Amino acid sequence: MPHISYSELKNWNHCPFYHKLVNIDKLKVFEGNEYTAFGTALHSVCEDLLTEEISIPKPELFNQKFRDEIKKLKSEELNKKLIIDMFEQGGKLSEQVLPSLDKYFDDCEVFMAEEKLYEPISGFDDYLFKGFVDLIIKEGEDYHIIDWKTCSWGWDSRKRSDKMIVYQLILYKHFFCQKYGINPNNVHTHFGLLKRTSKKNIVELFKVTSGQKRIDNALELLHKAIQTIKSGVHIKNKLSCTSGYGCEFYKTKHCN
């Protein structure tokens, strides 16, 4: 059955035509780089640390996974100095994940790591929401949804309250509650920043408010996206062509 993920919704919100190129036509321009390899390796370390007995030192676990991710990249384009720094940064972060969680939560147990959501969307009998929740902690009657984000020094206040970034956690909360029949009042949402270049507080957890109003707004956007995707109309949002990091399709044969 057709489905939509948060990253698809983000693409559509960036530009409906961009969504068409990436998610419908499956054009792939960006193949990954040192930063995505680092993020993938560290996410995998976090999952292992929370679900398995690890017999090797945590930095070594990171090194193994990062090495595997780097091998998948085109070697001629790699920044060797950056990669050497990343081995050290990833090792330090791997050691801080569990102590940071212990400090942040009073008494917690892992409910699930890498929880898969594949849930019906109310109002659409032919579309599912798909997502992977990095970590769910249970604390008494309460559940805490955590999404890990790798970054350099951290996030500024604008990014912390960015509507579109926050909607990821909001949608995960909504569909997690739907899947398990849990009262949303008992579910809380947090980002876990894994900061590569910061000197202190390198694993920072912070809470994101996820009340009913935010849930309604996120669902409204999701419904609008599905309706327009299904209609086959893919409008070009020219405001996104050069804003931020710009669009990889700008002035290419795919979009000019």
Tell me whether residue 138 or residue 254 sits nearer to ligand SF4 (CB atom).
254
When asked if residue 255 is in the footprint of ligand SF4 (CB under 6 A), the reply is yes
Q: How many residues bind ligand SF4 (CB under 6 A)?
A: 13
Tell me whether residue 56 or residue 239 sits nearer to ligand SF4 (CB atom).
239
Q: Is 193 left (phi over 0), alpha (psi -120 to 50) or beta?
A: beta
When asked if residue 249 is in the footprint of ligand SF4 (CB under 6 A), the reply is yes
Tell me whether residue 19 or residue 188 sits nearer to ligand SF4 (CB atom).
19
When asked if residue 247 is in the footprint of ligand SF4 (CB under 6 A), the reply is yes
Q: Look up residue 53 and give its amino acid.
A: E
Q: Would you state the structure tokens that stand for residue 85, as one six-digit string?
A: 């720094």
When asked if residue 240 is in the footprint of ligand SF4 (CB under 6 A), the reply is yes
Torsion angle of alpha carbons 142, 147, 148, 154, nearest 10°?
Answer: -100
When asked if residue 228 is in the footprint of ligand SF4 (CB under 6 A), the reply is no
| Cα distance between residue 97 and residue 102, in whole Å | 9
Concatenated DSSP letters of 105-155:
SSS-EEEEEEEEEEEEETTEEEEEEEEEEEEEEEETTEEEEEEEEEESS--
Binding mask 20-59 for ligand SF4 (x = CB under 6 A): -x--------------------------------------
157 exposure class (CB count in 10 Å sphere: 0-12, 13-18, 19+): exposed
Pick the stretch among 27-35, 45-53, 215-223, 241-249 that binds ligand SF4 (CB under 6 A): 241-249
| Site of interaction with ligand SF4 (CB under 6 A) | 15, 17-18, 21, 236-238, 240-241, 247, 249-250, 255
